[in-house]
Structure 1
Amino acid sequence: METTLFYNCQLFDGKNPQIQPHSWFLVNPAGQISARGQGTTPPAEHRVDLHNQYVMPGLINCHTHLCLDPDAFDGDTGTDKVTATVRAVQNAQTMLRSGVTYVRECGSIKGVDITLSQLIEQQKLTHVPQILPAGLPFSMTGGHGSLNNGTQEVDSPDEMRRAVRQALKQGAQVIKVMATGGVMSPADFMNDPQLSTAEMRAAVLEAHHRQKTVAAHAEGNPGILNAIEAGVDSIEHGFYVNDAEIDLMLKQHTFLTPTFIAAWAIPRFGQGILPNWEIKKAADALDDLYQNINHAYQRQVPITLGTDAGTCFNYFDQTPKELELMVDHGFSNFDALQTSWHSAQLMQIAEHYGTLEEQKFADFLVLTHNPLEDIRAVQQVNKQVYQKGNRVA
């Protein structure tokens, strides 16, 4: 293994809001940045000229469903394990090419994500993003996502406690709970509370005992408040988050993952294909989602980058589109890009990922245009993608 010098680039390190021109950085054999600077370059065994292009950190998407098919339209959770595994690998490869170098799965068919994350750790599966796995999410009986056994159903704090302990034993690194109904559920609505505060609190206690986090699907009220009061680490979707909940989120440092694109795609592409009730749910909520998330952003709730990839028309190359939707609805370019860094913090990997600083892994993108000037620069189709200093796409 050699030390590699990457030089002649315009660097956005993910932390500072300015481009640093004439930049270089050294990557050691372990794939970590050992030094960086501007101007005169140091010696190195291997040198890569980046031709004055723009370098930024790889994207970290903290809400994905790699096993799903965005064109299935039915939740797709009844798929057999072999098909789900092959599809997950293909979807992960697509995400990597789009610029995503690390994902947090928020619910996976038959625990496929746990196996894939172990294979990645053992270096038996390469050219995919790293995965923080959840296994099956948890819902009440008949709750959101339970169609075709897409969740593990629990109906008391004791059942939740045992189920979470089993999930952690099997290798889950994050726990996903369903606090409300949702857009894709035919029998419930976003404002239907589902798992109780006590049930979710049991999940939080067990996860936190093992230094793991809990993500709550929570779209409406009172479910959002129930999840925050239970102590979850992130609210996923949060369509109707309000000031009282924001107060608690700021106090507890609860993250918020908007997944704009999941709601945007359904009315945009679903006419004549999806059921009318599903299109109406998403369309009715979309303006409220934009307004409420922007309000949370203005109040400085930490916003993460997640797409809910795998849901209807929500394809695995669309993480950069999520950034564009953020900017279209009030975020600055820099703050939109910072959501990826917040994802690293939520996922407890920020010590090694999320920004391009010394001692962190060299996961980065090379772009033709400046993402701080035009957020659509990240959508470049033929961008270069690196993990630990090795080009992977």
Structure 2
Amino acid sequence: MCLDPVAAPPSSQVTRRGVLAGAAVLAAGGAAVAGSASPATAAPRGVSHGGSGRPPRGGTLIIDGGTLLDPLTGRVTEDAVVVIEDGVVRAAGARGATRRDAAAVREKARVVHADGRWVLPGLVDAHIHLSTHAEAHRALRLGATSVRSGSTAFYQDIALRELARWAPDQAPRMRAAGVFVTPKPGDTLLADPDLAPLLRLKDGIRTPEALRRMVEVNLSRGADVIKTRVNERAGSPTENPLTQVYDRDQLSATVAAARRGGATVLCHSYSEKGVHDAVLAGVHSIEHGVYLGERTMHHMRERGTFFTPTLAAMASLAADPDPVLAERGRVFLPIARRAVLRAFELGVPIAAGTDSSGGVIDPIGREVELMREAGLPALDAIRTATTGAARLIGLERGAGRLARGFRGDAVLVDGDPLSDVSVLKAPSTVIGCGIQVSDD
């Protein structure tokens, strides 16, 4: 079964909701899903469905030849073989060392010939907004085999997480955030009847009780993580991203409620004070964090707080037709690059995230490219979208490497990423849970 190696399936309550919401997603993208690995269709070679009430096992596949990179160790293996059985890596390494494992599955395996290409683990996008089947499939095809949601308006990410369990060639494995914990959620509060009473609050979601309610409903609906903010948006010309909307006490209330439910918090932030308050409040990761200061970086290193700078989103902002947003992007991007390099030098854990949304999906390889341009060595830039991001989203034992027992997620690229990380922007082949992902 193609489940997370370190996570149990969602509860029956979440599954019911996932099925209902997932039906809408599938209806919107029925043509694409009709050919996917689901119980209603014939399985591709090497894919086993199992019982009708359980997600199918992953694919059995051999990646034959190619140059294998292990981001954790930096080891490069030429003429390598990766053996994936039922969606899990059985063996990965030199041809001689994997010969017996390859022979054991050869008759039932699909073979992908990788001669002349580099083989890496599937990439991890630690901050992305996916609301439709088409967006999820596009992110997957661009190499993001695992992602952490940056929230959606109506719990679409939870439905997409369920789709990925049933059809890993259609959507990346998802850590869902549910709906945004923000002072003025507007109609997002209609995503669930239990949130609707909060619409009557004159000052919005600001009291400890209202913040706790938002978190508790998110978790009860199956959210894996909680998304909140400390500053206004950068992508809206009518907002000032340096204006603080929650203080440290309010952020602490959100973090405490999340921790009671076993979840971590990611925090949208820009201003120096806002980032500092968020870190001291106990958030697990700082998102964007343009004006992240060295004082706060030291706290982050000590606490293990991650930095997800979303450089690709700032680069896109700089090209926006709105002059206010374009100027904002041009100012923010070089400042954020300097913050990334200094955070890396100080030992702050860094994860790659594109902040893609609204139907425009940036390849996670673009974020790796911008990390490299910020001054990170090539291998460390790659780690931000493999081992680093996997650790941030709690998948370090199942993603970010092609090693025995890890999930069978891989990308094949036409070039040496250690010489030119830009090759990661356009994988020639993507494999999710042992199943080759088709083109859009």
Residue correspondence of structure 1 range 247-262 to structure 2 within 5 A: 247-262=298-313
Structure 1: runs of 5+ lacking an equivalent = 68-87
Residue 140 of structure 1 corresponds to which residue in structure 2? 183
Q: Return the offset for 1:124.
A: 5.8
Residue 152 of structure 2 corresponds to which residue in structure 1? 108
Q: Give the one of 38, 44, 49 matched to 2:104.
A: 44
Query: Does the residue aligned with 1:216 lie in a helix, a strand or coil?
Result: strand
AA partner of residue 55 (structure 1): V
Tell me, in whole angstroms, the C-alpha distance in 2 between the residues paired with 1:124 and 1:386. Answer: 12
CA contact (8 A) 1:11 1:55 kept: yes
Q: Return the offset for 1:211.
A: 2.3
Residue correspondence of structure 1 range 370-385 to structure 2 within 5 A: 370-380=416-426, 383-385=428-430
Structure 1 stretches of 4+ with a deviation exceeding 6 A read none
Higher mean C-alpha displacement, 88-97 vs 187-196: 187-196
Residue 170 of structure 2 corresponds to which residue in structure 1? 127
Q: Give the one of 267, 275, 287 matched to 1:236.
A: 287
Q: Are the structure 2 counterparts of residues 126 and 56 from structure 1 closer, same or farther at C-alpha, using a change threshold of 3 Å?
A: closer
Tell me, in whole angstroms, the C-alpha distance in 2 between the residues paired with 1:127 and 1:384. Answer: 14
Residue correspondence of structure 1 range 173-212 to structure 2 within 5 A: 173-212=224-263
Residue 217 of structure 1 corresponds to which residue in structure 2? 268
Does 2:86 correspond to 1:26?
no
CA deviations 1:6-30 (Å, max 9, x no partner) are: 332210122122321122232222x
Residue 330 of structure 2 corresponds to which residue in structure 1? 283
Q: Return the offset for 1:187.
A: 4.1
Q: Are the structure 2 counterparts of residues 52 and 124 from structure 1 closer, same or farther at C-alpha, using a change threshold of 3 Å?
A: closer
Q: Return the offset for 1:207.
A: 1.6
Q: Return the offset for 1:174.
A: 0.8
CA contact (8 A) 1:102 1:129 kept: yes
More strand by share: 1
Q: Return the offset for 1:209.
A: 2.2
Tell me, in whole angstroms, the C-alpha distance in 1 between the residues paired with 2:115 and 2:331. Answer: 47
Q: Return the offset for 1:214.
A: 0.4
CA contact (8 A) 1:98 1:318 kept: yes
TM-score, scaled to structure 2 = 0.77
Residue 20 of structure 2 corresponds to which residue in structure 1? none
CA deviations 1:267-304 (Å, max 9, x no partner) are: 22x2xx32x32222222222211112211111121110
Does 2:368 correspond to 1:299?
no
Higher mean C-alpha displacement, 35-44 vs 107-116: 35-44
Higher mean C-alpha displacement, 239-248 vs 277-286: 277-286
CA contact (8 A) 1:14 1:356 kept: no
Does 2:219 correspond to 1:168?
yes
CA contact (8 A) 1:238 1:293 kept: no
Tell me, in whole angstroms, the C-alpha distance in 1 between the residues paired with 2:126 and 2:345. Answer: 21
Tell me, in whole angstroms, the C-alpha distance in 2 between the residues paired with 1:183 and 1:317. Answer: 18
Q: Return the offset for 1:230.
A: 0.7
Q: Give the one of 110, 115, 120 matched to 1:56.
A: 120
CA contact (8 A) 2:168 2:432 kept: no
Q: Return the offset for 1:52.
A: 4.1
Q: Give the one of 399, 403, 414 matched to 1:353.
A: 399
CA contact (8 A) 2:216 2:261 kept: no
Tell me, in whole angstroms, the C-alpha distance in 2 between the residues paired with 1:348 and 1:380. Answer: 26
Q: Return the offset for 1:336.
A: 0.8
AA partner of residue 92 (structure 1): A
Q: Are the structure 2 counterparts of residues 91 and 255 from structure 1 closer, same or farther at C-alpha, using a change threshold of 3 Å?
A: same
Query: Does the residue aligned with 2:235 lie in a helix, a strand or coil?
Result: coil
CA deviations 1:187-208 (Å, max 9, x no partner) are: 4322211112122112212222
Query: Does the residue aligned with 1:386 lie in a helix, a strand or coil?
Result: strand
AA partner of residue 135 (structure 1): G
Tell me, in whole angstroms, the C-alpha distance in 1 between the residues paired with 2:380 and 2:62. Answer: 29
Higher mean C-alpha displacement, 125-134 vs 148-157: 148-157
Tell me, in whole angstroms, the C-alpha distance in 1 between the residues paired with 2:168 and 2:123. Answer: 19
Query: Does the residue aligned with 1:45 lie in a helix, a strand or coil?
Result: helix
C-alpha RMSD of the superposition = 2.1
Residue 331 of structure 1 corresponds to which residue in structure 2? 376
Residue 8 of structure 1 corresponds to which residue in structure 2? 65
Q: Return the offset for 1:126.
A: 4.5
